[in-house]
Amino acid sequence: MKTTILGTGSFLPEKVLTNADLEKIVDTSDEWIRTRTGISERRVADENTPSSELAVRAAQNALDMAGLKPEDIDIIIVGTVTPDYSFPSTACLIQNKLGARKIMSYDFSAGCTGFIYGLKQADAFIKAGMAKYVLVIAVEELTKITNWTDRGTCVLFGDGSGAAVVGPSKDDEHGILATYTAADGSLGDLLILKAGGSAMPASHETVDKNLHTLYMAGNDVFKHAVRQMEESALKGFELSGISMEQLDWLVPHQANIRIIDFLARRLKLSMEQVVVTIHKYGNTSASSIPIALDEAVRDGRIEKDSNVLMVAFGAGFTWGSVTMRWGI
């Protein structure tokens, strides 16, 4: 039995923050940001719009495409590092806002690999007979944990949400062909939000030192991202039986256009076969893959029988891939 994605959805806040806007906040330039990262603009959620609001919109769009109602869903899982609260989980807030049944709903933290980890969990739940339809949501409002005085990170991130309804595939030819996930906790300090948890509870000092915002050793993260995303892609080919030549679409995590370019070259793909959204949305962490996927499905690039490879790398470190033959 195979599982598949029956519907995708995404939602981006309206407000646009351009590179020119950032030039007024930190010592940077549109030219530097575009050439070093590929980003021209990103979306920003306003103060009164928490992650759950973006997520509900993305989820509703995915349900509509799948032709399902909230009450059809058996499990809601949400990958996020920017939940509305530490608890209750954002998944529980979404369960209530969507009007779903009183089903198991939980968040998990896998950084930018959240959607890949989420698809793997959905695949496993369905194959184990524990659910028929699983709603996998990735949502991030990284601009709410951004250090706006750090030009090395504040130019990178944006807000948004993407979702997928996962369910049984109608046939054995289409659906999720392989999932691959991995982690290395020894490198966690390179990409971390230090304060606010049990290791460093909130205090005046943590606020004064800006420790409630994201810290990233960009250069080091870059090197690991390049290596592990390539490894994840190769594992995807190996486990799925799809060859590089048979691949139609690469949907990579959108962290830096240079990482995406490198990966495409290593996989001998032309950039026409890569779904890219980083120029307009920046790095939306776990949401970047489902947002890109949803765009490519809705505009017809990804269609029935397309071989699709999604590859991610993120905080933890975590990394992985999902290989699919598109079935809708």
Q: Which of 11, 117, 125, 313 binds ligand ACO (CB under 6 A)?
A: 313
Q: Rank residues 8 and 283 by Cβ distance to ligand ACO and give the closer one.
A: 283
- Residues 133-152: x/- map of binding to ligand ACO (CB under 6 A)? ------------------xx
Residue 70, CB half-sphere, CA atoms under 13 Å: how many?
A: 17
Q: Which of 37, 80, 228, 287 binds ligand ACO (CB under 6 A)?
A: 37
Q: Rank residues 163 and 191 by Cβ distance to ligand ACO and give the closer one.
A: 191
Angle between helices 51-66 and 288-298 (to 10 degrees): 30
Q: How far apart (Å, rounded) are the C-alpha atoms in residues 97 and 283? A: 26
CB of 92 to ligand ACO, least distance (A): 24
Q: Which of 176, 174, 146 is nearest to 159 (CA)?
A: 146
Question: How many other CB atoms are found less than 10 A from the CB of residue 272?
Answer: 8
Question: How many other CB atoms are found less than 10 A from the CB of residue 32?
Answer: 14
Structure tokens at 146: 């951004």
- Residues 268-287: x/- map of binding to ligand ACO (CB under 6 A)? ---------------x-x--
- Residues 4-23: x/- map of binding to ligand ACO (CB under 6 A)? --------------------
Strand ranges (E), the chain: 3-11, 16-18, 41-43, 75-79, 104-108, 134-141, 159-168, 175-183, 191-193, 214-216, 249-252, 307-314, 318-325
Catalytic residue, chosen from 19, 92, 112, 154, is 112
Catalytic residue, chosen from 19, 253, 256, 307, is 253
Q: How far apart (Å, rounded) are the C-alpha atoms in residues 233 and 82? A: 27
Q: Which residues pair with 318 in a beta bridge?
A: 183, 314
Q: Which of 16, 23, 30, 36 binds ligand ACO (CB under 6 A)?
A: 36
Q: Which of 146, 142, 206, 144 is nearest to 26 (CA)?
A: 146
Expressed in angstroms, the distance from the first to the final Cα of the chain is: 17
CB of 163 to ligand ACO, least distance (A): 19
Q: Which of 92, 131, 255, 289 binds ligand ACO (CB under 6 A)?
A: 255
Span 83-112, contacts to ligand ACO by CB under 6 A: 112
User: Does residue 262 interact with ligand ACO by CB under 6 A?
Assistant: no
Determine how β-strand 307-314 pairs with β-strand 249-252: parallel
CB of 88 to ligand ACO, least distance (A): 24
Span 206-245, contacts to ligand ACO by CB under 6 A: 218-219, 221-222, 225
Residue type, 205: E
User: Does residue 32 interact with ligand ACO by CB under 6 A?
Assistant: yes
User: Does residue 259 interact with ligand ACO by CB under 6 A?
Assistant: yes
CA torsion, ordered 61, 66, 68, 73, to nearest 10 deg: -90
CB of 226 to ligand ACO, least distance (A): 8
Q: Rank residues 13 and 218 by Cβ distance to ligand ACO and give the closer one.
A: 218
**Positions marked catalytic:** 112, 253, 283
Residues near ligand ACO (CB under 6 A): 28, 32-33, 36-37, 112, 151-152, 155, 191, 218-219, 221-222, 225, 255-256, 259, 283, 285, 313-315
